[in-house]
Structure 1
Amino acid sequence: MSRALLFAATVLAAFPAFAQQDTTLVQDLEKIAAAHHGKVALYAENLRTHQTASISPDLPVQTASTIKLAILLDAAEQVRSHTASFDEKLVLTHENQVPGSGIIGQLDTPLPLTLRDVLHLMVTLSDNTATNMAIDRLGLDHIDKTIQQAGLHQTWLYKKVYKPASGPMPADQPKFGLGKTTPREMAEIMTRLATCNLDLPVTEETFRVGIDGSICGTILKMLRVQQDRDGLPRYIEALDTSELGSAIGNKTGALDRVRADVAIIASKSGPIVIAAYTFDNENQRWTGDNEGQITLAKIGEAIIKAWSPAGLDPTVINWNNPLAPASR
């Protein structure tokens, strides 16, 4: 057996063939959802045990900024295929500055940035101008092609942020705005990044520890320092992250009536992926105590209490290279 196939077999052996729905946890999550003044859809999975918990996991929802995970996936694919480089230079211009979250829309132009810088800002600050720069560089059509090659047929990036849709659009674009997804499919994107499942469609060459692992490590480190921690991490990140680093990598999304969070969590029971969406929310306050944020926090807390009562351990995931052994 080749070294690549041996590694693949080792990875697959760690994951049971069939996911098992945790019905007790689902009941607890449904109580949280019922108390929320809005709607909830979510999918969660322990990548070691394959326990799952879900509420309407295949319901199409507005992505808000969680669609930026799909941009990260395409960036990883293009860096892997040498059609892009994290070190290549892009130039911020006044014409591509847009409002909303982020900071570079407020800076003087022209400003040179690397693709790594742009993606880092897109993740850590959910910077909308950086997002549009990444879309311009990678290509909207290419990003959607990568999503489809991953087998995600309900996930689409429709347009740039704060820009009108252009060209032929699906009939549902006005309803979903920036992008569409389902909790299950967005959890799949996070899982691909967390397990470094690149090279679509998958071949044995996917498992290149030195090359692919470094690409995924660059992305995981961005997600790990994402600055909006008012959702899923709120009640569960009790570690001294300044000393040990965070045990959570996540990407949030927010609209007036939407709060969403997609996370990879290094728990003591194994890596846990959660994609949770609250929508049609009555509470539209733009504060950290928005009810949607609190509901996401309760969801994260319930899942960790059920699956990893001993808590989190950042060393369960090798954040620098997920294809290499974990640091502990």
Structure 2
Amino acid sequence: MLLLLCLSVLSQAAKAQETWEVFMEKIPEHLQVSLLIQDEEGQTLFSQSADKRIPSASIIKIPILIALMEKVENREITLDARYSLQATDKVGGAGELQHLPDGSGITFRYLAEEMIRISDNTATNILIRAIEMGYIQDWLKKNGYRDTQLNRLMMDFKAIEEGRQNYTSPREINDILLNLWEGKWLKEDSRAEIMHCLKGCADNSTIPSLLPAGTVVAHKTGTLDYVRGDAGIILGDKPLILSVFVENFESMEEAESAIGKIALKAFRDFGR
């Protein structure tokens, strides 16, 4: 009886894999899609090029946020402490802090929220300096992450020209999210702060875009001219950890559409 049950489970898994392979064939052939879908226990539900190391864009802000909360737990940073915004902090790209007057007082909690909510690059760079880039790099290494690297500040084009890029892979960013979900590193209050930030991500053009209204997603998107990605937790009846990166797209909308369709299928197949 047990053997029959095991065979049935394996048969269902094989059928799901075949269905996904057929589905992925409908994604435009020129797109390079790297993805990993797991359940909350870490079981792989579908993967494609999950170990590919990819420029992370703003998805690197997830481990930055976790490192921040570790510093908070160690009482090295206080979320309610105020930082005085300096002219030298301001960088372009996403975010509103670059438009605030010099000397504006901003809490570290607000910096963390804005780093995720609208991917504020000025907020991110302030946090990287406060946490220390070496601390974040060491945190990634000590937890076994080799593909995921923070090698530069946001909007540091000189560093990019010199070959210093930020990276991750679907497997590693999924593992970071899974360990966050399981409470591996942080106390519950810290985990709640991070989940609050991730649920507040205002960019809903990727994973959340086609999901049923009211579906909660804790996630962080990333955008470069050559990479569009999203990584997060779909909080359906059965939580799913999902990372999708798209390269070689002809338009940003094409990449976002592919991510949205993948997330919807994952939700329908595995999340309810």
The TM-score with structure 2 as length reference comes to 0.88
- Structure 2 gaps of 5+ residues are 1-12
Deviation of residue 49 (structure 1)?
7.5
Deviation of residue 257 (structure 1)?
2.0
Deviation of residue 303 (structure 1)?
0.7
1:121-270 matched pairs, under 5 angstroms? 121-163=114-156, 174=161, 178-198=165-185, 212-239=187-214, 247-268=216-237, 270=238
1:35-50 matched pairs, under 5 angstroms? 35=28, 37-48=30-41, 50=43
Deviation of residue 280 (structure 1)?
2.2
Distance 1:100 1:111, change over 3 A: same
Contact kept, 8 Å, 2:36 with 2:44, in 1: the verdict is no
For 2:246, the equivalent position in structure 1 comes to 278
Deviation of residue 85 (structure 1)?
2.1
Contact kept, 8 Å, 2:210 with 2:260, in 1: the verdict is yes
Taking every aligned residue pair, what percent have the same amino acid on both sides? 24
Deviation of residue 185 (structure 1)?
0.3
- Structure 1 gaps of 5+ residues are 1-19, 167-172, 200-211, 240-245, 311-328
Mapped to 1, the partners of 2:217 and 2:30 lie a distance apart of 27
Contact kept, 8 Å, 1:259 with 1:279, in 2: the verdict is yes
Mapped to 2, the partners of 1:70 and 1:248 lie a distance apart of 17
Mapped to 1, the partners of 2:163 and 2:256 lie a distance apart of 20
| SS of alignment partner, residue 232 of structure 2 | strand
Which structure has the highest helix share of the two? 2
Deviation of residue 37 (structure 1)?
3.4
| SS of alignment partner, residue 59 of structure 2 | helix
Match of 1:118 among 111, 135, 145: 111
For 1:27, the equivalent position in structure 2 comes to 21
Number of aligned positions between the proteins: 259
Cα offsets for 1:53-95 (capped at 9, x unmatched): 1100001111010000110121122122222222222221111
Cα offsets for 1:251-299 (capped at 9, x unmatched): 000111211000111111x21100110012222x5xxxx1000010011
Cα offsets for 1:16-55 (capped at 9, x unmatched): xxxx78523541453244x253211011101147242110
Contact kept, 8 Å, 1:72 with 1:219, in 2: the verdict is yes
CA-based RMSD of the aligned residues comes to: 2.1
Deviation of residue 164 (structure 1)?
5.1
Distance 1:177 1:37, change over 3 A: farther
The TM-score with structure 1 as length reference comes to 0.74
Mapped to 1, the partners of 2:85 and 2:29 lie a distance apart of 41
Cα offsets for 1:199-249 (capped at 9, x unmatched): 6xxxxxxxxxxxx1001101101111110000011111412xxxxxx5111
